[in-house]
Amino acid sequence: MATQLSFDLPSKTALGREDFFVSPANALAVAMISATSWPGNKLALSGPAGSGKSHLAHVWAAETGGRIVQATDLRYEEVPNLARTSVAIEDVPLIAGDPEQQKTLFHLHNLVLAEGNALLMTGRAAPKLWRLPLADLQSRVEGAHHVALEAPDDALLGAVLAKLFTDRQLSPGPDVIAYLVKHMDRSFEAAAKVVDELDRIALDEKRDITRALAVRLLNTELEQSDAHD
pLDDT tens column, 138-179: 999 999 999 998 878 888 889 889 989 998 999 898 899 999
3 with 202: CB under 8 angstroms? no
% of residues, the chain, pLDDT over 70: 89
Provide the pLDDT for residue 1. Answer: 32
Q: Rounded CA gap, 64 and 61, in Å?
A: 5
Phi, psi of 178, rounded to the nearest 5 degrees = -60, -40
More confident residue, 49 or 229: 49
Q: Write down the pTM of the prediction.
A: 0.72
Cβ–Cβ < 8 Å for 46, 125: yes
pLDDT digits (tens, 9 = 90+) for 59-108: 899 999 999 999 999 999 999 999 999 999 999 999 999 999 999 999 99
In the three-class reduction of DSSP (H, G, I as helix; E, B as strand; rest coil), residue 167 is classed as: helix
Calculate the alpha carbon distances from 204 to 83, 92, 167 in Å: 48, 38, 19
pLDDT bin (cut points 50, 70, 90) of residue 206 is very high
